[in-house]
Amino acid sequence: MSGADAEHVVADRYRLLTRIGRGGMGEVWSGRDLRLHRDVAVKIFHGGPGATASSLPGWLRREGIAAAQIVHPNVAVLYDQGAHQDQIFLVMELVSGATLADVMRGGRLSVRDTLKIGSQVAEALAAAHAARVVHRDIKPQNVLVTPDGTVKVVDFGIAGFLADTRSWSLGGSSATVKGSGTPDYAAPEQVMGNNADARSDLYSLGTLLYAMLTGEVPFQAANFLDVMRQKATEDAPPLPPGSGAPRELAELVAELLAREPERRPTAARQVAARLRAMLERSGRSEAEVEVQGSTSLDETLRVGEAGGAKALLTETGPETPPVWGPGPSKDQVAPPEPSAWEPLAATGATVLSALAAVEVRGRSLLPSPAPLPSGEPVGESGYPFPWRSVLIRALLLLVAAAVTLVVVFATG
């Protein structure tokens, strides 16, 4: 089927409606499942040697069956795969939204947005690896972002076959090098032609995180041969300070980009848990900032006219003074309203001052008052003045003064 058109029906079941994408490996169409009466996405692959019905290997069929068993909110559901007129087709869930490649055209992403997307990709990989399916080609073009921010990873069950049949031409020569994956995102063992496993997907995830945070991939060169040489002989560069990534995220990216597979994290589920924990902490930090009245963040994902998503917008609200809330703690006590005890306490204080100045036969009518207990708030520091305590002490001292007067005159 060299020229798919809107009236074409694939495998006597899937009607092609609108072509929504085209690349070097094939085309993507919105379609209709005539048997189950549902909307689908149909990918038709026509690139790469071996991508024909006669050479469709048994392991691809088995992996497609396994991929179809993956039920996870971050994995685009695979409905069917097969061959039609010597071309491989893939039928999957029709997802509205933009590819991550479109999102990244608006510039590098914030740390929080990187964590949101990265954690969901890691969750998708964890579900796939649990089903013994390795993607082998994690890259921005295979990650979809819906309008509500949900991530869908696509091409499970087919990417591995396409990757294994891919070869690259070296610039300026007729030589070709066989490898798997997309060179910029593939793990070193993939570009060297070795077998890929779950740890290879984690390397690609690390590259994805690096690209979202910086706007570029770790290794850049004029051709694939130089990229392959760099990945085989050099460690990936660390995240630059300008990425804004916290230390724990930078350390995780470095672990994922380790050249040797055994130095990478052992499971996608562990990586997802670490990314989720960082995301939760970043959310709490923003909430604390809002309570303190400094910066208020309002992030909105806007989809551009071309269908790609724009960068997230951050709005900073004006600073507001702290507001006393109900039930303050002992470290944050609101100044009380004027109490009915206040005038009585003031009168008592005046009487005490007058009595303290009176001496009878060299004796003060009032003993030296005991100091207030340490830590009891007084003055104008925002804490309540202990009016009731002062009044009680004043009454006790007045009684003591009266008793003293009686004793002095009785013994005189």
Active site residues: 137
Report the run of H or E that residue 212 belongs to, with start and end.
Answer: helix 198-214
Compute the distance between CA of residue 271 and CA of residue 251 in angstroms, rounded to an integer.
12
Compute the distance between CA of residue 310 and CA of residue 301 in angstroms, rounded to an integer.
7
Side chain identity at residue 273, one-letter code: A
Tell me the CA distances in angstroms from 51 to 25, 159, 259, 312, one per residue in order. Answer: 10, 12, 30, 39
Which residues, in sequence order, are CB contacts of 372 under 8 Å at separation 6+? 378, 386
Token reading at 370: 């005991």
Report the run of H or E that residue 115 belongs to, with start and end.
Answer: helix 111-130
CA neighbor of 354 nearest in space, from 397, 392, 409, 387 = 397
Query: Phi-psi category of 331—alpha, beta or left, where left has phi over 0 and alpha has psi -120 to 50?
Result: alpha
Which residues, in sequence order, are CB contacts of 88 under 8 Å at separation 6+? 44, 45, 51, 52, 53, 56, 81, 82, 158, 161
Name the one residue in this structure whose structure tokens are 């685009």: 76
111-130 and 268-291 helices, crossing angle to 10°: 150
Q: How many CB atoms lie within 10 A of CB 219?
A: 21
CA neighbor of 67 nearest in space, from 96, 36, 93, 49 = 93
Which residues, in sequence order, are CB contacts of 281 under 8 Å at separation 6+? none
Token reading at 276: 């989720």
Which residues, in sequence order, are CB contacts of 237 under 8 Å at separation 6+? 218
Q: How many CB atoms lie within 10 A of CB 253?
A: 25
Side chain identity at residue 225, one-letter code: L
